[in-house]
Structure 1
Amino acid sequence: MTGATGGLLLVHAHPDDETLTTGGTIAHYRRRGVPVTVVTCTLGEEGEVIGERWSRLIAAEADQLGGYRIGELTAALAALDAGEPRFLGGPGRWRDSGMAGTPSARNPRAFVNSGDAAVEALVEVLVELRPRVVVTYDPRGGYGHPDHIRAHEITTEAVSVAAERGWDVPKFYWTVTDASLLREHTAALARRTVDELPGALPKGWRLPVEPELAAMSTGGVTTEVDVSDVLAAKRAAMRAHATQVTVAPSGREFALSNNIALPVLPVEHFRLVRGTLGERGADGLEHDLFSGI
């Protein structure tokens, strides 16, 4: 349903981000017939690679990882029923900046150096598609990646500029992690591993330590979307990003190239930063991104 107007638009930094943070929400709304467009800002050229088969595609060797990840993103979006990939400015317009402090950020094409051109490119998409809901990261980019922070910056500005050019987005959200829920599910994983299913994690994986959880946890949750009925689609999309993500045989946990096990959560959380909250439940949270519009 990419290209349809009036739906949900999500701005993500690299292929796999759309699935890890909002894959359940994408599948949830597609199942309900809502048009969904995922705008990806880079090809993820600077990513690490899990396993040996495609390991030489990395930037330091063949520098072909970005092209390969287009295929992974295509398969992941198909699993979520979210159409074809749409890259900001076209495929390859901006390059993955890498982690903070790395030489890749000095590349003139690095997304962190995208300037006003990236904002303008996103404004064009917003005016074209007129989404009722827009989602991107919080100001720290979830866990501090420079490209996530840049995606937050350009989306925030583009939403404001688009309002001056004929489309005032009714609701604008940040995708966030609920710290207490993450810790609750991680503790449950630890109990299963130690008490119920010793050795349940794949070989080489480990449980996260508290500082690692704190690094990715945010707050200010206003909205919770129950994605438990579409977790099969989210897991399929995660598996499609095989150079970046491994899903445990149980389907309950996943890991990136660092082999730190994290739970696949049955809900996804957001913080409304523009617009008005809709109907809220007994927990005080909104449960539908489109509520009230």
Structure 2
Amino acid sequence: MSDAPTRSLLLVHAHPDDESITTGGTIAHYVREGVEVTVLTCLLGEEGEVIGPEWAELVADRADQLGGYRIKELSTALHELGVAGPRFLVAPGRWRDSGMAGTPAAANPRAFVNADPAEAIAGILAVIRSVRPQVVVCYDEVGGYGHPDHIQVHRFTTAAVEAAGPDAPAKLYWTVTDHDALNAGLARIGAVPHGWRRPAQGELPTFPSESVTTVLDVSGVMDAKLAALRAHATQVTVAPSGAEFALSNNIAQPVLAEEHYVLARGQLGPVGDDGLEHDLFAGL
């Protein structure tokens, strides 16, 4: 029996489906490597749009039951990725999806943008002290694409890591979309399904490639990543090819076989010939 300490990874995400879209391959990869992986989801995604008519009555301005249904989707996706769960910040539904900036949803007193920072930070800190991760993943300062809830996750997770003291993880990463990798993926897309369209130049948000520090090859777990994406059927459609997906806007995006990160706290580990880390636990 090995005396090596168990490796532990914590990923903090805003809504159900975020974990699969941005880090699904990472989650499945490390589960298969024997890492203890915890996915902390902050909200239920009540303000999300719905693809197709089947579940259209669940949305916020109708039955307002989408959040509960998305717990089911999240549970299925996590199972496909090999993670127990779901696990929510403080409690399921403690705060509500804020919607995009400037929408009426943000005025709701229960919206995550109106959360008491002390309570939210304490909730994340409690999870850090419970699972003792060496590595934590959240979003960058703009939440990837500017969603207010993603920005809150960045702020609160960063604050919790800084407050953890001796329990602080060795590394904090941001999950990002590498500009060059996305464009290369878009260039590989052939015909798109009926009703979809290709993104306009610069329409999809990206992160500067020269600022990316870490890339993880997830080609070996694409089966799990695709299954997790398909589990979020109210939010995500996977093309029959399995090489593209689209959200409710029907804009085609590539399903990348690499996932990209920026090291925000801690020491960069050994890098490859490309100057990038290839393991979130590199150097630990």
| TM-score normalised according to structure 1 size | 0.93
Code of the aligned partner of 1:202:
P
Q: Percent identity?
A: 62
Give the conservation status (yes or no) of the 8 Å contact 2:177–2:207: yes
2:169 corresponds in structure 1 to 169
Which residue of 237, 240, 250 maps to 2:231? 240
1:183 corresponds in structure 2 to 183
1:228 corresponds in structure 2 to 219
* Cα distance change on mapping 1:5 and 1:117 into 2, 3 Å: farther
User: What residue ranges of structure 1 are gaps of 5+ in the alignment?
Assistant: 194-200
Q: Does residue 1:273 correspond to 2:274, yes or no?
A: no
Moved more, 59-68 or 204-213: 204-213
Q: Does residue 1:110 correspond to 2:111, yes or no?
A: yes
Q: Does residue 1:261 correspond to 2:252, yes or no?
A: yes
- Indicate the SS of the match to 2:212: coil
Q: Does residue 1:251 correspond to 2:252, yes or no?
A: no
CA deviation after TM superposition for structure 1 residue 128, in Å: 1.2
2:74 corresponds in structure 1 to 73
Q: Does residue 1:62 correspond to 2:88, yes or no?
A: no
2:158 corresponds in structure 1 to 156
CA deviation after TM superposition for structure 1 residue 188, in Å: 1.8
Which residue of 146, 149, 153 maps to 1:147? 149
CA deviation after TM superposition for structure 1 residue 202, in Å: 1.3
CA deviation after TM superposition for structure 1 residue 5, in Å: 7.0
Q: Does residue 1:88 correspond to 2:102, yes or no?
A: no
Which residue of 254, 270, 276 maps to 1:285? 276
- Indicate the SS of the match to 1:173: strand
Give the conservation status (yes or no) of the 8 Å contact 1:12–1:39: yes
Which residue of 179, 185, 197 maps to 1:206? 197
Code of the aligned partner of 1:91:
P
CA deviation after TM superposition for structure 1 residue 6, in Å: 4.5
2:123 corresponds in structure 1 to 121
- Indicate the SS of the match to 2:260: strand
Give the conservation status (yes or no) of the 8 Å contact 1:6–1:130: no
Give the conservation status (yes or no) of the 8 Å contact 2:178–2:206: no
Q: Distance in 1 between matches of 2:217 and 2:15?
A: 24
User: Where has structure 1 moved over 2 Å in runs of 4 or more?
Assistant: 215-219
Give the conservation status (yes or no) of the 8 Å contact 2:43–2:89: yes
Give the conservation status (yes or no) of the 8 Å contact 1:247–1:254: yes
Post-superposition CA distance 1:104-143 (Å, at most 9, x none)? 1111111111122101111111111110000000000000
CA deviation after TM superposition for structure 1 residue 211, in Å: 2.8
Q: Distance in 2 between matches of 1:123 and 1:217?
A: 27
- Indicate the SS of the match to 1:36: strand
Q: Distance in 1 between matches of 2:120 and 2:201?
A: 36
Q: Distance in 1 between matches of 2:105 and 2:206?
A: 23
1:20 corresponds in structure 2 to 21
CA deviation after TM superposition for structure 1 residue 216, in Å: 3.7
Q: Distance in 2 between matches of 1:5 and 1:148?
A: 29
Code of the aligned partner of 1:47:
G
Post-superposition CA distance 1:193-245 (Å, at most 9, x none)? 3xxxxxxx2110000111313x3444411000000010110000000000000
Code of the aligned partner of 1:155:
T
Code of the aligned partner of 1:86:
R
Q: Distance in 1 between matches of 2:207 and 2:17?
A: 19
CA RMSD of aligned residues (A): 1.2
